[in-house]
Amino acid sequence: MTGLPNILHITERSLWEEARARGVYEWSTRGRTVSEEGFIHCSTPGQLPNVAAFLYGSYEGTDELVVLVVDPARVGVPVKWEAVKPGGEEFPHVYGPIPVTAVVEVRPWP
pLDDT score at 1 = 44
Bridge partners, 74 (sequence order): none
- Phi, psi for residue 78 in degrees, rounded to 5: -60, 140
Q: In order along the chain (110 residues), what is the average pLDDT of each group of 10 residues? A: 81 96 94 93 94 82 90 96 92 97 94
CB atoms near residue 47 (< 10 Å)? 16
What is the pairing mode between strands 65-70 and 103-108? antiparallel
Contacts of 104 (CB under 8 A, 6+ apart): 6, 69, 70, 71, 74
CA pair distance 102, 82, nearest whole angstrom: 21
pLDDT score at 2 = 52
| Domain annotation for the chain: domains and CATH numbers | 7-108 (3.20.170.20)
Helices (H), 1-110: 13-22, 34-37, 48-56
pLDDT score at 61 = 72
Model pTM greater than 0.85? yes
pLDDT score at 56 = 83
